[in-house]
Amino acid sequence: MAVATPPLVTMLVIPTGIGCEQGGYAGDGLPVARLLAAASGSLITHPNVMNAAALYWSDSRIHYVEGWALDRFSACQLALRPVRRQRVGLLLDAAIEPELKARHLQAADACRAALGLTIGPVLSTDAPLGVSLHRGPSGASWGRLERPDALLRAGERLRAAGATAIAVVARFPDDAGSPALEAYRAGSGVDALAGAEAVISHLLGDHLGIPCAHAPALSPLPLDPGLDPRAAGEELGHTFLPCVLVGLSRAPDLMDWRLAGPRVGAVPVEGAAATTAGNPGLAGNPGLDCAGADTPLITPQALAAVVAPAGALGGAAVLAAAERGVPLITVANPCLLNVTAAALGLEAAGCTVLPARSYSEAAGLVLALREGLNPESLLRPLVSLS
């Protein structure tokens, strides 16, 4: 009788706001995540990959981890504890108009009624957040907040009220008719919102130490008959909130791995109520219905492969994994950047870099690693050892 192959913990990174041909739009990285989850049995990825506005996909093999926590996990500072559900607090920007606010509350109610999610409490910030959108010299998107203090105060109140994860909805500037938006909707531009969204979720996650993700509040756009299919997920309703609520509803708890000490593989939770002076949220508000003190962790040492665009390898999560000797599967996925393995000298430094021409080929490499096959044995010609 054949024995089932254990999961191979794999990380999928598709950086936000750099115009990746695949994964740079409204959830068009979801098919990639589903394929790699099937190949690996355990996939860690971030909201930018999974969020498709009104569309989403729930898979117990996919772990929804915001970019700040992804970086910390890769650097051996956090471990992940899967949970059956989180209590998702809803944080609304005071700048959201009453009708638009009502639309978002209705979306949250719909997720409670139709999907059975645990949502609440709901709080608004005590001042408008003041989001502004910008582009860097490379063309990548980023953003600013005028009142980060208002964001952090509201997050603290939600955590104190029992939220174990937080969905943020900030009012973003409407830019209907702008060249950048028209290019994005046509499938040739950069997501102008993504950089500012990352600023918000990174800041709040770092401050609170619990899962956080963001959905922008915007006025509905006029119909565009020439819309690119990759951008269509954002045209289906009045809010992008449903995918965020679904993703956070089963996002893993973030555990301070420095307190537990380095161990290999899945280990029992130790110190489930542990806190740190710098991050009192870490493990302080555990998700609901976790199995208890024997719930297995996904540890940084269990990470066995990272999949990332070949031209976007300069992020903290990828570099930390490479430094630890985790194999990098680099996928041809054009974007604004050209930060390649060669440019970084990764192979010269002894890192294992496995190039793939597509995510389908990357899934094959993940499966080979999972089965204990040397990927070189699949190549021809096969170089002799002599």
Q: For the chain, give every domain's residue range.
A: 8-82+252-378, 88-249
pLDDT exceeds cutoff 70 at 218 = yes
pTM over 0.95: no
Q: What is the pLDDT of residue 236?
A: 84
Q: What is the pLDDT of residue 14?
A: 97
Q: What is the pLDDT of residue 290?
A: 55
- % of the chain exceeding 90 in pLDDT: 72
Cα 309 from Cα 97, distance rounded (Å): 38
Angle between helix axes 194-208 and 67-74 (nearest 10 degrees) is 60
Q: Which of 45-54, 242-251, 270-279 has the lowest mean pLDDT?
A: 270-279
pLDDT exceeds cutoff 90 at 181 = no
Confidence of residue 286 (pLDDT cuts 50, 70, 90): low
For residue range 67-84, list pLDDT tens digits in order. Answer: 999 999 999 999 999 999
Q: If you write DSSP's letter for every residue of 201-270 in order, what string do you get?
A: HHHHHHHH-S-EEEEEE-PPPPP-TT--GGGGGGGSSS-SHHHHHHHHHTPPEEEEHHHH---SS--B--
Which tokens belong to 322? 């490479």
Q: What is the pLDDT of residue 133?
A: 86
CATH of 8-82+252-378, one of 3.30.460, 3.40.50, 2.60.460, 3.20.20: 3.40.50
For residue range 109-160, list pLDDT tens digits in order. Answer: 999 999 999 999 999 999 999 999 888 888 888 889 999 999 999 999 999 9
pLDDT exceeds cutoff 60 at 353 = yes
pLDDT exceeds cutoff 90 at 188 = no
pLDDT exceeds cutoff 80 at 291 = no
Which tokens belong to 84? 């059956």
Give the residue with greater pLDDT, 346 vs 271.
346
DSSP state, residue 5: P
Cα 193 from Cα 144, distance rounded (Å): 11
pLDDT exceeds cutoff 60 at 272 = no
Q: What is the pLDDT of residue 294?
A: 60
Nearest to 271 by CA among 282, 165, 287, 262: 282
- CATH architecture of the domain covering 88-249: 3-Layer(aba) Sandwich (3.40)
Confidence of residue 288 (pLDDT cuts 50, 70, 90): low
Q: What is the pLDDT of residue 370?
A: 98
Angle between helix axes 194-208 and 148-160 (nearest 10 degrees) is 50
Cα 242 from Cα 169, distance rounded (Å): 11
Confidence of residue 171 (pLDDT cuts 50, 70, 90): very high
Cα 320 from Cα 234, distance rounded (Å): 33
Do residues 132 and 193 touch, judged by C-beta distance below 8 A?
no
Angle, alpha carbons 241-243-249 (nearest 5°): 100
Q: Own/partner pairs for 128-131, CB < 8 Å, 24+ apart?
A: 128/93, 128/94, 128/95, 128/171, 129/93, 129/94, 129/95, 129/170, 129/171, 129/200, 130/95, 131/93, 131/170, 131/171, 131/172, 131/173, 131/196, 131/200
Cα 201 from Cα 220, distance rounded (Å): 23
DSSP state, residue 380: S
Q: Which residues pair with 119 in a beta bridge?
A: 88
Q: How many C-beta atoms lie closer than 10 Å to residue 333's C-beta?
A: 23
pLDDT exceeds cutoff 50 at 277 = no
Cα 43 from Cα 36, distance rounded (Å): 7
Nearest to 204 by CA among 78, 86, 84, 89: 89
Domains 8-82+252-378 and 88-249 share a fold: yes
Note the helical H segments in the chain.
30-40, 47-50, 67-74, 98-115, 148-160, 179-185, 194-208, 241-249, 257-260, 316-323, 341-344, 359-370
Nearest to 166 by CA among 213, 105, 96: 213
Mean pLDDT for the stretch of residues 30-36: 98
Q: Which of 228-237, 288-297, 315-324 has the lowest mean pLDDT?
A: 288-297
